[in-house]
Amino acid sequence: MVTQRKKYFFHHSTPVSLDKMREHKEPYTTEILNKELVVYPDVLSPHYDWSGIFHVRHLGNVGEKWVLDMGCGSGIIGLFAALNGAREVVATDINPSAVENAQENFKKYKLTNARAIESNLFFSVDGTFGLIIFNLPYHGAKANDFLEKAVSDENYDVMKQFLTQAKDYLTFSGEIQVGFSTSGDVDLLREEIVKNSYTIDKIYSESDRGYNCQLYVLGAGEQSKFAMLLDTRSASKELESSKSTSSTPAQEAMGKLLAISAQKIAAVRDF
């Protein structure tokens, strides 16, 4: 029996907002929560789409955390995370213009704890983070350009990949914040959350400008945390094994690398 895929469409408010963004042919500025941001023409604009503002309002305490802001767009969420004391913010986007846009906003506020890189999901990302942020595209329809990709993920393939991979980049006590909307396939989102063994710690929801925004705060479930502990113990065992046998210079060098790796794992798992 062949399972038919759902047919997804844009929310009625989405084309209107996108058309307003497309009217801009040059970079422009907008004031968001008392901060002036630069927005590039082919980047999702917080001036017309309020989901980023909603996320910032519920960002929570980011002090001293390593933060990954995925699908950063103009850099709005990463900017406020950096301004509010994050140890380091790595902002990523598949859209080169968005990466440049976020970097310009970080530079505008002379931030030394924030940088933007081009990456398709986690492809160019290294390390683990105490907070991983992704304001997910709400819709499951086909996207025809980068601007539409910011709001629509065909058949939610990106969302599924993100939730599958994110736990590998999360610290032991870290959290994931995903933005979504009741105009998207909420049932599918929750199925994927359960499938990947996350816990839903909080849900924020609000409606404005004719549509709804949600923010899911996720934790790694016990199964994922157990896997993290196994990774740490495995590194420690390799280190002890290298110490207990006579070593060549190359093996000694590897032992040192393993020691550094184990120390880093132990340090970041507690964040």
The pLDDT assigned to 8 comes to 79
3-state helix, strand, coil in the chain (%, to 5): 40, 25, 35
Per-residue confidence band for 268, with pLDDT thresholds at 50, 70 and 90 = very low
Rounded CA-CA distance 121/115 in Å is 16
Which one, of 68, 61, 66, lies nearest residue 270 by Cα? 66
Per-residue confidence band for 176, with pLDDT thresholds at 50, 70 and 90 = very high
**pLDDT tens-digit map of 7-59:** 878 888 889 999 999 999 999 999 999 999 999 999 999 999 999 999 999 99
The pLDDT assigned to 211 comes to 87
**pLDDT tens-digit map of 224-255:** 544 555 444 444 444 454 444 445 555 555 45
